[in-house]
Structure 1
Amino acid sequence: MPTDFPSAARLHRPSEYAAALKGRRIARGALFIVSGPRQSEPGPARLGLVVPKRHAPLAVTRNAIKRVIREAFRLRRAGLPDGDLVFRLVSRPAPASLTVLKRQVREEADALLGRIAKC
């Protein structure tokens, strides 16, 4: 099923994150930078998330951001190029309700994934 999100679609080891973060910056938005390896790896796209406490101090905020990005990735995974993608939160979101934050994160994630899919 192309819309599932199995364990094989996620990065698990620190070495996998390190390889993707050392690579090139693929896309940038107001909140996130998406990094990937220098060379495309065989196999389907995989997702890694870095949401530091300094940019999202509340656990509920960090978890909501991760959930929204995972869902956006899950729906677009089939159209993405092979290789690992790491979404890294690089700026603190503006104070807003959780609903508004989720909408903002989803719009940016969809835009970034759309740009990556065109590459």
Structure 2
Amino acid sequence: MRATFPAAARLHRPSEYALALKGKRLARGALFVVTTPRSGPDLIPASSARLGLIIAKRFAARSVTRNTIKRVIREAFRHKRHSLPARDLVFRLHTKVMPVSLTALKKQVRDEVDMLLDRAMQ
């Protein structure tokens, strides 16, 4: 099976993000919090896992850092998307990113995202 990241695998509307942020916290790591909407009668079930990213400028001041973080999260999600349950996942950066090399940042983010996605599978 090919690992792709189509538009149907992303959150697009602010209302989708708001539902997830008001919902249940699935996992928390050193850098990120993963949330998902609570299931309810008015919630339309997702056909597959979808990803939303909130990477605030106040926690990662440089655009290079923010874009690198997003790229790494998308790549990790893309590889595990088919094994994840059909629900929306929002990754939110909650801690200031310390100045490190991009290589070290990529490794740190990938390790944490893989761990959080494993927790989200349960």
What are the within-5 Å matches in structure 2 for residues 79-90 of structure 1? 79-90=83-94
Moved over 2 A (4+): none
Deviates more, 1:67-76 or 1:35-44: 35-44
Aligned identity (percent) is: 62
- Whole-Å Cα distance in 1 between the matches of residues 97 and 61 of structure 2? 11
Q: Contact 1:2/1:78 (CA < 8 Å) preserved in 2?
A: no
- Whole-Å Cα distance in 2 between the matches of residues 11 and 3 of structure 1? 18
Structure 1 gaps, min length 5 = none
TM-score normalized with structure 2 length: 0.93
**1:44 is matched with which residue: 48, 59, 63?**
48
Q: Which amino acid in 1 is paired with 2:24?
A: R
Over aligned residues, Cα RMSD in angstroms? 1.1
Which residue matches 2:82? 78
Q: Contact 2:32/2:92 (CA < 8 Å) preserved in 1?
A: yes
1:112 aligns with 2:116: yes
What secondary structure is seen at the aligned counterpart in 2 of 1:108? helix
Which residue matches 2:31? 31
Structure 2 gaps, min length 5 = none
Q: Which amino acid in 2 is paired with 1:83?
A: R
- Number of residue pairs matched? 118
Q: Contact 1:20/1:86 (CA < 8 Å) preserved in 2?
A: yes
What secondary structure is seen at the aligned counterpart in 1 of 2:90? strand
Q: CA deviation at 1:93?
A: 1.9
